[in-house]
A and B are shown apart, each in its own frame.
Chain A
Amino acid sequence: MSGTIPVTLIGGYLGAGKTTLVNHLLRNADGRRLAVLVNEFGELPIDADLIVAREGNLISLSGGCICCSFGSDLLAALIELKDRRDTIDHLLIETSGVALPASIVQSLSLLPDLALDGVIVLADAETIEARARDRYMGDTVLAQLAHADIILLNKADLVSPERFSDVSRWLGATAPRASIVPAENADIPLEIIVGQHTPRQGDTRLTPRSGRQHIADYETLSFEIDAPRDPERLAAALAAMDCGLLRAKGFVRRFDGTFATLHVVGRRALIEPAPDWIEGPGRIVCIGLANQINRPAIEAAVEASSIVAAGSS
């Protein structure tokens, strides 16, 4: 990988399921070394059976993951983690229930070795609309939703299907930028939150994993792209609403022959130089909800990015 660590923010109001999601991700890390920073007024949110050792406020977890709590100063905690960079594949930050993701995103920009991957905001299907109208917290809740790349509309099992589709519609109008994913117990494929595995050296495939059951049906589309592409243009097109993607990851050969890594989370796209062992045909893997993913739009996006943009080489 290049020198940066991808960072995913996990936000949302108290009780939305952030802690459940974090535990779910740690339990299914599948070889990824996740580092989790947590802040929920100190209640240790990690399931006890995952904990291997505790040392100060740093907890070692099974599978090479670690968890760190931070008080009022997230940035200080991130700076302290710097020395452990080589042991971290992906950093998850569980924000406090009243934190605004937008301001944390700004803070992250001060640390050049971290790159924001995506903002996941959880919403409790039962209570989110009432929270958004609360006289004290309403504007905070709305600001959290407005900055989400993906909203995990959680606790779908606790409301009727009619009510659930009402809430989904309301969320769609309230947070038009976000992709909305239904879930029970914050259950969502790991790939959507932290992306597909980056292949180790010698492995050329980006393997989509599947098989686990979630309440929503997901669909994965893979493409090999032999010819060079403009990765910036491709990423922007894949992040457009009409592709219906939750997550895409790919390695794309530029017109100068070098490879770029491309990440898309909802409407957010990030391009960085690919690891130097990447070779062979370019390829991307796209995941979306089965009823939303739009193959023709994705194919059109791939096609259009083969045209050299004016001004680039």
Chain B
Amino acid sequence: MITIYQARKIVTMNPARPLATHVAVRGGRILGAGLLDELTGWGKHKIDRTFADKVLMPGLVEGHSHVAEGVLWRFVYCGYFDRTDPGGTVWPGVKSIDEVVARLRVANAKLYDSRQPLTGWSLDPIYFDKRRMTRQDLDQISDARPIAIMHASLHIMNVNSRALELAGLLRKGINHPGIPLGDDGLPTGEIKGPDAMTPLGPHVGFDRALLAADEPGLRDFARLCVRKGVTTAADLANLLPQPAVEMMLRVTGEAQFPARIVSLRVAREISPAELVERVVELGKLSTDRLRLGMIKIVVDGSIQGFSARLRAPGYYNGAPNGLWYVAPEQLREIFDRALAAGVRVHSHTNGDEATELVLDTLTQALRKNPSPDHRFTLQHCQLANAAQFRRMKALGMCVNLFPNHHFYWGDQHYALTVGPERAERMNACATALANGVPLAIHSDAPVTPLGPLFTAWCAVNRQTASGRILGTEERISVADALRTITLGAAYTLGLDSEVGSIEVGKAADFAVLEDDPTEIGGDKLRDVRIWGTVQGGRIFAAETI
């Protein structure tokens, strides 16, 4: 059966036919986009006017997120900015510690079991006028129940006295940089860094396996995708043990599962040889809605955590250089084996020294295994300079930059982490495009909210939370930004022949919009209202998802 959808406007991202009024679909695939007359020749059809007053774009592609975003919504949202949950409820941002405590009090009253932990997430106290939250703040809610709030960065949490007690940390004499002490010699309740958080995790509901996603978490993540116009999303770092793979195959295969998930196996816990072998096997299990068979490597830490590896002159505040999470020899072995097996590798590099190591290592690996169209991708790659983008181009690399950082942490990068000049250069989207490096941009959800149109707004405006424009020269046009969140991201995932534009032969994946992103103005891109999606020819309205 052929359905021809009529729309107010169809922005195709196909340069040969950039705009259309109708798109014909059969069996989840696009027969063509154009004028009605150009499509009726395919045969017997029905005209569907559901989208007659909507704007269609290719389904948006999120090139770097984590399905954990779907899990975290089981906890109480405590972020500074308004955020929409999978069910569509907009949680207003909380603007002070008192408001955080008040919101948790409400949640506390709904829990009956006094031992059950109360858990919040997405706290961002840098906006709270320099006052740090303490365990005493949270003790007001309950001193019997363990309470924790994960920060937006996912690298820090605040806990109450009971949680510290359960973890054996409510004692004097602790000497750890991640556990600041109060005047009484006891921990203040702020817990910094993954190591320090580990003893707390089991007592406050942050189970690592759970955060890697479970069935309801995966479904909730896909509901968020519908609300944000996303039809394909990369789940960028998953250990993908076999039971998890089977669960993901089952859930993504459900008739009403609304998104295509691309899940990368993170290089951890097995040797390079086993890793590449495993990923080749995983690739064979791929279905239309669950794509497997790529590798993610974490090379360094994060800039705001001062664990990214920076080249000279290092951190602006004088902090010592960050940490390597992989040795060059291991990186080289994984690259060699992956190139030989035809497996794509995405490398997390935040600092420019980590980026340089990947560029050097891939240069050598490509000499050994010349691989046209390898599409190895640098993820985050926030501090790369122009010379590094030139090398990416020369090596055939792609880059997936992180412009959301400008909005959420740009002011801190300017004042504290990397200083003015590098803060303005961070996530240099314009330089990437000028050098012809295939570009994607991402949210790293749940670190920042999923939403490619918001990410596009960040790349177009580079505006910080305080309103500063950070790097006017690196702003990109709306047209480039829209291409980047569709075809650009699809290219980095090797899916650009299947999705990313509305043209004959591709999947019938559409973002259904109330407003026209090409007309609304770059400064309002984040305000584009999203009706829902069409994924593989199936219609999903945000209102009823």
Write the residues of chain A forming the contact surface with B, with a CB cutoff of 8 angstroms. Answer: 13-15, 41-43, 69, 71-76, 79, 96-98, 100, 103, 106-107, 109-112, 136-137, 139-140
Cα of A14 to Cα of B330 in the assembled complex, Å: 9
**Cβ A136 vs Cβ B353 within 8 A:** yes
Cα of A67 to Cα of B542 in the assembled complex, Å: 51
Q: Which of B176-224 contact A (CB under 8 A)?
A: 176-179, 194-196, 198-199, 201-202, 208
**Cβ A71 vs Cβ B323 within 8 A:** no
**Cβ A73 vs Cβ B208 within 8 A:** yes
Q: Could you give, for residues 238-255 of chain B, a 1 whenever the CB lies within 8 Å of some chain A CB and a 0 otherwise? A: 010000000000000000
Cα of A312 to Cα of B154 in the assembled complex, Å: 47
B327 contacts partner chain A, Cβ-Cβ < 8 Å: yes
Q: Which of A96, A98, A100, A139 has the most CB of B within 10 A?
A: A98
**Cβ B271 vs Cβ A43 within 8 A:** yes
**Cβ B321 vs Cβ A76 within 8 A:** no
**A-B complex: 7 closest residue pairs judged by Cβ atoms:** A75-B198, A71-B269, A42-B270, A98-B324, A43-B271, A107-B195, A42-B271
**Cβ A41 vs Cβ B271 within 8 A:** yes
**Cβ B199 vs Cβ A106 within 8 A:** no
Q: Which of A69, A111, A136 has the most CB of B within 10 A?
A: A136
**Cβ B274 vs Cβ A42 within 8 A:** yes
- A41 touches which one: B195, B201, B272, B321 (CB < 8 A)? B272
**Cβ B195 vs Cβ A75 within 8 A:** yes
Contacts of B267 in A (CB 8 A): 41
**Cβ B208 vs Cβ A75 within 8 A:** no
Closest to A74 in B: B195
**Cβ B196 vs Cβ A110 within 8 A:** yes
Q: A106-B195, A110-B169, A136-B353 are in contact. Are A71 and B268 (CB under 8 A)?
A: yes
Cα of A75 to Cα of B275 in the assembled complex, Å: 24
Interface of B is mostly: loop
Closest to A70 in B: B269
Contacts of A69 in B (CB 8 A): 269
Closest to B320 in A: A139
Contacts of B466 in A (CB 8 A): none
**Cβ B174 vs Cβ A14 within 8 A:** no
**Cβ A98 vs Cβ B271 within 8 A:** no
- A100 touches which one: B179, B201, B275, B323 (CB < 8 A)? B323
Q: Could you list 16 further interchain pairs (A-B, Cβ under 8 angstroms) beyond the known A97-B327, A107-B195, A136-B324?
A: A41-B270, A41-B272, A69-B269, A71-B268, A72-B325, A73-B208, A79-B199, A98-B325, A106-B175, A106-B176, A106-B195, A109-B175, A109-B176, A136-B309, A136-B328, A137-B328
Write the residues of chain B forming the contact surface with A, with a CB cutoff of 8 angstroms. Answer: 168-169, 171, 174-179, 194-196, 198-199, 201-202, 208, 239, 267-272, 274-275, 309, 321, 323-330, 353, 356-357
Q: A14-B329, A69-B269, A136-B357 are in contact. Are A109 and B174 (CB under 8 A)?
A: yes
Cα of A41 to Cα of B326 in the assembled complex, Å: 9
- A107 touches which one: B176, B271, B274 (CB < 8 A)? B176
Contacts of B199 in A (CB 8 A): 75, 79, 110-111
Interface of A is mostly: loop
Contacts of A15 in B (CB 8 A): 329
Nearest-neighbour CB distance to chain A for B298, whole angstroms, equals: 8
Q: A14-B329, A73-B194, A103-B195 are in contact. Are A110 and B208 (CB under 8 A)?
A: no
Q: A43-B271, A109-B174, A136-B353 are in contact. Are A76 and B198 (CB under 8 A)?
A: yes
Nearest-neighbour CB distance to chain A for B197, whole angstroms, equals: 9
- B179 touches which one: A110, A137, A140 (CB < 8 A)? A110
14 contacts between A and B (CB under 8 A): A13-B327, A41-B267, A71-B269, A73-B208, A79-B199, A79-B202, A97-B327, A103-B195, A106-B177, A107-B176, A110-B169, A110-B179, A111-B168, A140-B324
Cα of A151 to Cα of B310 in the assembled complex, Å: 29
Nearest-neighbour CB distance to chain B for A244, whole angstroms, equals: 29
Contacts of A107 in B (CB 8 A): 176, 195-196
Contacts of A73 in B (CB 8 A): 194, 198, 208
**Cβ A76 vs Cβ B327 within 8 A:** no
Cα of A42 to Cα of B195 in the assembled complex, Å: 20
Q: A79-B199, A103-B195, A106-B195 are in contact. Are A112 and B171 (CB under 8 A)?
A: yes
Cα of A97 to Cα of B175 in the assembled complex, Å: 25
Cα of A98 to Cα of B299 in the assembled complex, Å: 11
Contacts of A97 in B (CB 8 A): 327, 329-330
Nearest-neighbour CB distance to chain A for B245, whole angstroms, equals: 18
- A98 touches which one: B168, B175, B321, B326 (CB < 8 A)? B326
Contacts of A76 in B (CB 8 A): 198, 201, 208
Cα of A14 to Cα of B199 in the assembled complex, Å: 29
Cα of A13 to Cα of B201 in the assembled complex, Å: 30
Nearest-neighbour CB distance to chain A for B118, whole angstroms, equals: 22
- A137 touches which one: B175, B194, B327 (CB < 8 A)? B327
Nearest-neighbour CB distance to chain B for A38, whole angstroms, equals: 11
Q: A42-B274, A75-B199 are in contact. Are A98 and B327 (CB under 8 A)?
A: yes
Contacts of B194 in A (CB 8 A): 72-73
Closest to B198 in A: A75
Contacts of B329 in A (CB 8 A): 14-15, 97
Contacts of A110 in B (CB 8 A): 169, 174, 176, 179, 195-196, 199
Closest to B329 in A: A14
Closest to A77 in B: B198
Cα of A73 to Cα of B356 in the assembled complex, Å: 26
Contacts of A103 in B (CB 8 A): 195, 323
Nearest-neighbour CB distance to chain A for B331, whole angstroms, equals: 10
Contacts of A96 in B (CB 8 A): 327
Nearest-neighbour CB distance to chain A for B434, whole angstroms, equals: 28
Nearest-neighbour CB distance to chain B for A132, whole angstroms, equals: 14
Cα of A72 to Cα of B297 in the assembled complex, Å: 12
**Cβ A112 vs Cβ B328 within 8 A:** no
**Cβ B268 vs Cβ A72 within 8 A:** yes
Closest to B202 in A: A79
Nearest-neighbour CB distance to chain B for A175, whole angstroms, equals: 18
Nearest-neighbour CB distance to chain A for B244, whole angstroms, equals: 15
Contacts of B168 in A (CB 8 A): 111-112
Cα of A73 to Cα of B534 in the assembled complex, Å: 40
Nearest-neighbour CB distance to chain A for B360, whole angstroms, equals: 8
Nearest-neighbour CB distance to chain B for A139, whole angstroms, equals: 6
Cα of A139 to Cα of B323 in the assembled complex, Å: 10
Cα of A74 to Cα of B178 in the assembled complex, Å: 16
Nearest-neighbour CB distance to chain A for B26, whole angstroms, equals: 46
Closest to B199 in A: A110
Contacts of A111 in B (CB 8 A): 168, 199
Contacts of B324 in A (CB 8 A): 98, 136-137, 140
Contacts of B271 in A (CB 8 A): 41-43
Nearest-neighbour CB distance to chain B for A161, whole angstroms, equals: 29
Cα of A112 to Cα of B167 in the assembled complex, Å: 10
Closest to A136 in B: B357
